[in-house]
Amino acid sequence: MKLKYLFTTLLAGAMFMSGCTEVSLENPLEELQVSSSYVNIPMKGGETEITVTATAAWAFTESLIPEGVTVSPLKGDPGTTSVTFSAEATDQGIEATTLEIVVNGKSQYIVFSQMDADYKPTYTSVKDVLSATENGKIYYVKGVVGSITDEDKGVLTIYEKDETATSELNVEGILDADGKENNFSSLGIEVGDTVSFRGAVSIGTPAKLVNASVENIKASSLKGAEDEYIIDAAASDNVKVVLTGSGFTGYEFSEDWVELKGTNTSNGKCTVILSVTANGADGFRSAELRFTTDNALAVITLTQKGNIPEKTTSLDALTDGSYVKVSGTVYAVADNGILIKDGKGTVFCQDDDYDENFSAGNVIEVVGKVTAEGENKIIIADQFTRTAVDENYKAETATELTANTDASTLKYLACVKLTGAVDKDGKITLNGYGYVAYEPAGLDPASLKEGTVAVMTGYVLSVDESAKEVSLLLTSLEEQKEDTAE
């Protein structure tokens, strides 16, 4: 379970640099798209085909095409064009090379290789990749995953030890098994696993590997029996966490309130005995415990409770900076928290790591710190606990918004319904304002085609007058039927 919670129940979009041209990892070219970011031909020779869809004239950079490889056509006009890659037989193979397509002065890249399934590529050390000087060059590299910072796009660090030092490399834009972006979680990679990557180096300070595909995953031989442990506020010299494996050779704790006292290893498990000081502060505190061997890593989070309020605070009596326990009925669930109400008030309880699917009508107890955003108060939550179901819960009726509505008059947490067109950024626009949704799973305006007329219901979280933007906690989203569209 998540630390803070207690419950009772790879090429399009990559970043390269070519001369002064930069292609952002987060912003793939709108002018040109390819049906596949990778092209491979067997070592016996042959051909394969992809499609190039462009809004303007385009051309391959011929100097980057390897000897013995033919690309036809080398240039094209706006529209969709079939491009054929053919190669002669080779004994050595082409591990990976970057081909460039230029459109309107911008670059799109394709990785070309010529190798068989049993071909064994040459791996480069992490240290040597970090010192690379040729931007965009393709490398094979492997290391132990030290941290994962984005589980959607696939952003992590790997490290490799030698006799004198440990080298660490950032890897960004990891593609799934089908070569698609933003599906990193499907790979099942965890901290501590040894992973082999193929990707392009992006020169910087430091260098990093981008647009990376996974060649092999070896599960860590050292793991925590649990990802995290939650302990009481009192001091103790006998806190135990369990590792699977034969033990560890090194360790590092992120906080000084926890110390190693000893270990007990038997039957493939290592019980680590810790000493912790008392937590006399409000709320929770956490420490990251990292245990290592030469080629494996286990990370455990230890969370200690602090002073938890005994009494429940009414939602109309919240004060900025106070640490509180509140209770209320869930009226909406977002991807970063929940909206709850009691008989006297309403508050949004936020947690950026929130991933539980509470249902509207559940009664929830929340512990956290009150913070003010202008005149609005929210709770930065440390703990959610489902306690009951509100038998009297009834969903609110939204206020209908029309094209004449001035968004600047909207109130915090007002329930509203609006009809507008989806723009290219995935916002719904109405009367000059863009509406951005904090949505439960499956309710994402960006999933709708640009220009679609959509009906969106939700609660107002904020209005940014300077940016002409409204943030909503979305509760429903549907396309407007053509016969009712204006």
Domains along the chain with CATH numbers = 31-114 (2.60.40.10), 126-218 (2.40.50.200), 223-304 (2.60.40.10), 315-389 (2.40.50.200), 399-484 (2.40.50.140)
Peptide bond into 206 cis (omega under 30): yes
C-alpha 279/C-alpha 269 separation (Å) is: 29
For 46, left (φ over 0), alpha (ψ -120 to 50), or beta?
left
Is residue 306 pLDDT above 70, yes or no?
Answer: yes
Is residue 196 pLDDT above 90, yes or no?
Answer: yes
For 192, left (φ over 0), alpha (ψ -120 to 50), or beta?
left
Q: How confident is the model at residue 62 (pLDDT cuts 50, 70, 90)?
A: very high
Q: How far is CA 113 from CA 194, 355, 435, in A?
A: 24, 40, 44
- The predicted pLDDT at position 369 comes to 94
Per-residue pLDDT reduced to its tens digit, 251-260: 999 999 999 9
Assign 39 to helix, strand or coil. Answer: strand
- Among the residue ranges 7-11, 117-121, 134-138, the one predicted with the least confidence is 7-11
Percent of the chain scoring above 70 in pLDDT:
92
Is residue 389 pLDDT above 80, yes or no?
Answer: yes
The stretch 127-154 carries a mean pLDDT of 90
C-alpha 226/C-alpha 211 separation (Å) is: 32
**Cα of 120 vs its chain's centroid, Å:** 31
Is residue 5 pLDDT above 90, yes or no?
Answer: no
Place of tokens 């245990």: 291
Long-range contacts of 68-77 (CB under 8 A, 24+ apart): 69/94, 69/112, 69/114, 71/99, 76/52
Q: Which residue, among 83, 106, 136, has the nearest Cα to 29 in the 3D structure?
A: 106
Percent of the chain scoring above 90 in pLDDT:
48
C-alpha 352/C-alpha 350 separation (Å) is: 7
Q: Strand 155-161 relative to strand 94-103: parallel, antiparallel, unpaired?
A: unpaired
The stretch 18-39 carries a mean pLDDT of 59
C-alpha 209/C-alpha 193 separation (Å) is: 18
Is residue 328 pLDDT above 60, yes or no?
Answer: yes
The stretch 310-339 carries a mean pLDDT of 92
And the tokens for 113?
Answer: 């290789």
Distance between terminal CA atoms of the chain? 47
Q: How confident is the model at residue 434 (pLDDT cuts 50, 70, 90)?
A: confident
Q: Which residue, among 236, 351, 377, 242, has the nearest Cα to 298 in the 3D structure?
A: 242
**Which 8-state DSSP code applies to residue 7?**
-
- Among the residue ranges 137-151, 210-224, 439-453, the one predicted with the least confidence is 439-453
Question: What's 56-119 look like in SS3?
Answer: CCEEECHHHCCCCEEEECCEECCEEEEEEEEECCCCCCEEEEEEEEEECCEEEEEEEEECCCCC
- The predicted pLDDT at position 430 comes to 84
Q: Which residue, among 94, 84, 34, has the nearest Cα to 64 in the 3D structure?
A: 94
Per-residue pLDDT reduced to its tens digit, 261-271: 999 988 888 99
- The predicted pLDDT at position 400 comes to 86
Is residue 10 pLDDT above 60, yes or no?
Answer: no
Decide: residue 319, CB within 10 A, 0-12 exposed, 13-18 middle, 19+ buried.
exposed
C-alpha 179/C-alpha 215 separation (Å) is: 12
In sequence order, which residues have a C-beta less than 8 Å from that of residue 8 and are 6 or more positions away? 385, 386, 387
Q: How confident is the model at residue 12 (pLDDT cuts 50, 70, 90)?
A: very low
- The predicted pLDDT at position 439 comes to 66
Is residue 149 pLDDT above 80, yes or no?
Answer: yes
Q: How confident is the model at residue 445 (pLDDT cuts 50, 70, 90)?
A: confident
DSSP 406-449: -GGG--TT-EEEEEEEE-TTSPEEETTEEEEEE--TT--GGGSP
- Among the residue ranges 27-31, 214-218, 395-399, the one predicted with the least confidence is 27-31
Q: How far is CA 270 from CA 97, 194, 260, in A?
A: 45, 21, 13
Q: Which residue has the higher pLDDT, 155 or 427?
A: 155
**Which 8-state DSSP code applies to residue 127?**
H
Q: How confident is the model at residue 406 (pLDDT cuts 50, 70, 90)?
A: confident
Is residue 485 pLDDT above 90, yes or no?
Answer: no
The stretch 458-468 carries a mean pLDDT of 88
Assign 322 to helix, strand or coil. Answer: coil
Residue 159 parent element (H or E): strand 155-161
Per-residue pLDDT reduced to its tens digit, 342-383: 989 999 999 887 877 788 999 999 999 999 877 789 999 999
Q: To the nearest whole number, what is the mean pLDDT of the chain?
A: 85
